[in-house]
Chains A and B, each alone.
Chain A
């Protein structure tokens, strides 16, 4: 069965620090991968997605993620975080049947 795991439950950073949130998936076939973000009091919204092609994908607000097939990973990165990036981040994978979410990582950015 497909599963998605996120390594970090809560990450605390200072502004301007670099960010990398880990995400691993377990599925042997083709999988579409997503990162969603939920800012405090707001809807869950799509940050970026990978379907095929260039494994380095860029999303909104300066975020990017790299799909590494050999490692079954899809880590989210941002070179310099801002206080406004404080949110919960969810990695998700879709195999053509359903979307499976990781448990989420709460990111707190201190000014």
Chain B
């Protein structure tokens, strides 16, 4: 398994501001993922972040709104830009440590974001 930490664990932000969420893993991993879990909804993949390349965004998510950095193999950040109340959600990072096609993922504790 992998130990994943996220900062902050929760935050309350004002409309129009931006928040950067950090994800730290206890060992080097190739693939890191960012998910959103809106109230009462399932987890939705925002983007895949691989070290040394641009993040790959899913349909409905764009880099201007959710810029991602992946400076090394143990760390990534997700920024939620120009926030609105619709961005209130739990944001989770996950990693795939298997290195093979089976793609078993381990999840961080999440960042609970409330936008007023």
Contacts and interface: CB of A to CB of B under 8 A. Distances in A.
Interface of A: 32, 34, 36, 42-46, 49, 51, 90, 94, 96, 98-104
Q: For this complex, into which size category does the number of interface residues on chain B fall?
A: 20 to 34
Nearest to A91: B42
A44 B101 CA distance: 21
B106 A103 contact: no
Nearest 7 interchain pairs by C-beta: A44-B107, A103-B42, A101-B42, A101-B43, A94-B103, A43-B109, A98-B45
A99 B41 contact: no
B108 interface: yes
Contacts, number: 41
B54 interface: no
Interface of B: 4, 33, 41-45, 48, 58, 92, 101-110
Contacts of A43: 4, 107-110
Contacts of B104: 34, 46, 49
Nearest to A34: B104
- Tell which of A43, A51, A96, A103 has the most Cβ of chain B within 10 Å: A43
A49 B33 CA distance: 19
Contacts of B103: 32, 94, 96, 99
